[in-house]
Amino acid sequence: MGWLGRIFGFYLDASIHVAFAVISLLITTNIFLNILPEQHLILFVFFATVPSYNFIKYGAKAKKYILVKNSYHRRIQIFSLVFLVLAGYHLFFLSYEVWLMCAVLVLLVGLYTLPVSSKHKNLRNSGIIKVLLVALVWTGTTVIIPVVASSLSFSWDIGILILQQFILILILLIPFEIRDLEYDELHLQTIPQRIGVSKTKTLGVVLSFIFLMLTFLKDDLSRLEIIGKTILFLILNVMLVFTHRNQSKYFASFFVESIPICWLGILIILENYI
pLDDT tens-digit map of 31-65: 999 998 899 999 999 999 999 998 888 765 544 44
Instruction: Answer whether residue 13 shows pLDDT above 50.
Output: yes
CB 215 within 8 A of CB 254: no
pLDDT class for 1, splitting at 50, 70, 90?
A: low
Quick one: pLDDT at residue 181? 83
Sign of the CA dihedral 70, 72, 73, 78? positive
pLDDT class for 204, splitting at 50, 70, 90?
A: very high
Query: CA nearest 113: which of 103, 124, 102?
Result: 124
* Residue 14: domain span: 3-271
Quick one: pLDDT at residue 259? 98
- Averaged pLDDT of the chain: 90
Instruction: Answer whether residue 147 shows pLDDT above 90.
Output: yes
- 70 vs 103: which has the higher pLDDT: 103
Quick one: pLDDT at residue 180? 85
CB 122 within 8 A of CB 111: yes
Instruction: Answer whether residue 235 shows pLDDT above 80.
Output: yes
Judged by DSSP in three states, 243 sits in coil
Quick one: pLDDT at residue 62? 47
CB 50 within 8 A of CB 15: yes
Instruction: Answer whether residue 94 shows pLDDT above 60.
Output: yes
**Average pLDDT over every residue of 98-114:** 87
| 206 CB-contact burial (10 Å; exposed 0-12 / middle 13-18 / buried 19+) | exposed
pTM of the model: 0.93
- 41 vs 187: which has the higher pLDDT: 41
d(CA 15, CA 45): 13
User: How many other C-beta atoms are found inside a 10 Å radius of the C-beta of residue 221?
Assistant: 14
CB 50 within 8 A of CB 83: yes
Quick one: pLDDT at residue 110? 79
Number of domains in the chain: 1
pLDDT class for 220, splitting at 50, 70, 90?
A: very high
pLDDT class for 122, splitting at 50, 70, 90?
A: low
Quick one: pLDDT at residue 37? 85
- 123 vs 173: which has the higher pLDDT: 173
User: How many other C-beta atoms are found inside a 10 Å radius of the C-beta of residue 35?
Assistant: 17
Q: Which residues contact 227 (CB under 8 A, 6 or more apart)?
A: 270, 274
